[in-house]
Amino acid sequence: MNTKLNRIYFDNAATTRIDDQVLEAMMPYLKEDYGNSSSIHSFGKSAKVLLEDARDAVASFLGANSKEIFFTSSGTESNNFALKGLAYRFLNTGKNHIITSSIEHSAVLDTTKYLEKKFGFEVTYLKPDSKGKISLTDVTSAIKPETFLISVMHSNNEIGIVNDIQKIAETAAEHKIFVHTDSVQSIGKTEFNVKDLNINLATLSAHKIYGPKGIAALYIKDKTPVEKFIHGGMQERDMRGGTENIAAIAGFKKAVEMLQSGFDNDVRHYDKLKKYTTGKIKGIFGESVFFNSSEENSLPNIVNISFDTEKLSFDEEMILIQLDLKGIAVSGGSACTAGTHKPSHVLTELGRDKKSALGSVRISFGRKNNTEEIDYFAESLKSIVKIKDEN
C-alpha cells in the first residue's frame, strides 16, 4: 500500500470524516438560507423550520420527544450542562452526593471535581472491574440519602465497554435519583433508546457520527430539574442562550438520518473489522498482547491493546509517532487528553502498569476502513513492537 497516497485513518473514536452527503446538506444554510432562526422574516423562518426538523430527527432516533432535545456546541458542553445544570438545582437542599466512575471522559471527571471544589458536593468515583465495566452492586452500595445524581457512561471512549445503564437506571428510580449517561461513543454503534433505558439525561455529538464538529445535543427528560446553562438569550426553549448553528444542525440532522437507514450495515462492518483485527494481532503477538477492549459487551468499532513489557520490546513514547510515520493514524486513548504525556487513566484503573498504559494503542474503525488497511497496520506494528527473543 502506498501510504503517501493512501493514509490510513484508524482514529474514528476521536472524530470522523464528515460525510459528503452531510456537507451537501449543510451548504444551503451557509450560502442561501443563512437567516437567524430567532428572526421573524422569511430568512429566519427557513432556519427555524430546519432547526425544529432536526430536533425531530434526533428525538426520533433516540426514542425521545422533540421538546427533550437541546442543541449544544459539543459533547463536553452537554456533559457540563447535564451535571452542573442538575447540581445547581440541588444547592443547599441537603442533596449533595453524586455517583460516577473513575474512568469517565474528562468532560465528566473535570466537572465533578469542579463541583466538589467550588460548591462542596461529595462525589463517589466507582472503580471498574478488570474489563472496565461498572458494577451494579457497587452503584447500589454507594447510594446515600443525599444522592441525587448517578452519571455513568453508556460506553467507554477508550476501551469500548458497554455498561448496563438500564439496570443502573432501574436502581436509581427506586431511590428517586436522576441518571445521566455520556453516550457519545454509543450512538450509531450499538442500540440506544432513552425511553428503554429510562434515563434522565444523555449526551451525544455529531462529529462522532460523520457529522460536523461544533454541534452536539443533550437529551433532558421532561420535568428533569436542570438549570439553564448559558445565559444571554431565549434560544433552546430558554435553556441555552446563543444563536443556533443552523448549518451544523443541518449536518447533524443528515448524519442522524444516515445512521437510521444504515445502522445494521455499519454495525456488521465494524464487527467484521474488529474480529479481523483481533485475529491478526493475536496471530503476531499471541499471549504477549493484552486486549483492553473486550470482545463481549463492547462497541464493535474499538480495539484497544497494550503490550506485555516482559515479552515485548517497544518504546512506549514513540509507538504512535512511528505508526504515523508509516501513514497510520491511531491513538493511545482519548483525543481530549492527547499530548499530556501521561498514561491513560482508564488503563491504569484497569491495572495496567505505566509503561503498558502509555504504550497502548486504540484502533477505532469507520465506514470506509477495510481489511487491507488492517493487514498493513498489523505488519507495521510488528516492525515497531518486537518479540524479545527475536532481538
Question: Residue 191 has what pLDDT?
Answer: 96
According to the model, what pLDDT value does residue 39 have? 84
Domain assignment of residue 183, yes or no: yes
Q: What range does the domain containing 190 cover?
A: 20-258
Whether residue 281 is found in the same domain as residue 331: yes
Domain annotation covers residue 120: yes
User: Hey, CA dihedral for 270, 272, 276, 278, is it positive or negative?
Assistant: positive
The CA-atom distances, in angstroms, between 220 and each of 11, 82, 181, 268, 302 are 29, 8, 11, 31, 28
Give per-10-residue mean pLDDT for the chain (391 aa).
69 98 97 89 91 98 98 98 98 97 97 98 96 96 98 97 98 98 98 97 98 98 96 95 97 98 97 97 95 89 94 92 96 60 85 86 97 97 87 47
Q: Are residues 191 and 326 in the same domain?
A: no
3-state secondary structure the chain: CCCCCCCEECECCCCCCCCHHHHHHHCHHHHCCCCCCCCCCHHHHHHHHHHHHHHHHHHHHHCCCHHHEEEECCHHHHHHHHHHHHHHHCCCCCCCEEEEECCCCHHHHHHHHHHHHHHCCEEEEECCCCCCCCCHHHHHHHCCCCEEEEECCCECCCCCEECCHHHHHHHHHHCCCEEEEECCCCCCCCCCCHHHHCCCEEEEEHHHCCCCCCCEEEEECCCCCCCCCECCCCHHHHCECCCCCHHHHHHHHHHHHHHHHHHHHHHHHHHHHHHHHHHHHHHHHHHHEEECCCCCCECCCEEEEEECCCCEECCCCCHHHHHHHCCEECECCCHHHCCCCCCCHHHHHCCCCHHHHHCCEEEECCCCCCHHHHHHHHHHHHHHCEEHHHC
Whether the CB-CB separation of 360 and 332 falls below 8 Å is answered with yes
Q: Are residues 267 and 254 in the same domain?
A: no
Q: What's 275's domain CATH number?
A: 3.90.1150.10
253 with 110, same domain: the answer is yes
The count of structural domains within the chain is 2
Residue identified by cell 492527547 is 338
Q: Are 278 and 250 within one domain?
A: no
* 201 plus 278 within the same structural domain: no
Last residue of a domain, one of 219, 243, 258: 258
- Residues 146, 27 share a domain: yes
Alpha-carbon distance of 355 to 28, in angstroms, equals 50
Query: Which residue among 208, 229, 258 closes a domain?
Result: 258
Q: Are 309 and 355 in contact (CB under 8 A)?
A: yes
How many CA atoms within 13 Å lie on the side-chain side of 29? 25
Q: What pLDDT is recorded for position 4?
A: 46
In a domain, 1, yes or no: no
pTM of the model: 0.94
In a domain, 230, yes or no: yes
Residue appearing with cell numbers 493484552: 290
Q: What is the largest CA-CA distance in the chain?
A: 74
Same domain, 249 and 277: no
- Is 2 within a domain? no
As a whole number of angstroms, the distance between CA 330 and CA 374 comes to 12
69 and 178 inside one domain = yes
Q: Using alpha carbons, select from 149, 157, 151 the residue that is nearest to residue 108.
A: 151
Q: Are residues 172 and 56 in the same domain?
A: yes
Active site residue 336: yes
- Copy the grid coordinates of residue 226: 436542570
| Residues 193 and 310 grouped into a single domain | no
Per-residue model confidence (pLDDT) at position 262? 96
CATH of residue 106: 3.40.640.10
Q: Is residue 3 part of a domain?
A: no
Q: Is the same domain home to 143 and 59?
A: yes
Asked, for residue 60, whether it belongs to a domain, the answer is: yes
Domain boundary among 234, 258, 282: 258
Please check whether residue 51 lies inside any domain of the structure.
yes
d(CA 146, CA 139): 14
Residue of 123, 143, 230, 336 marked catalytic: 336
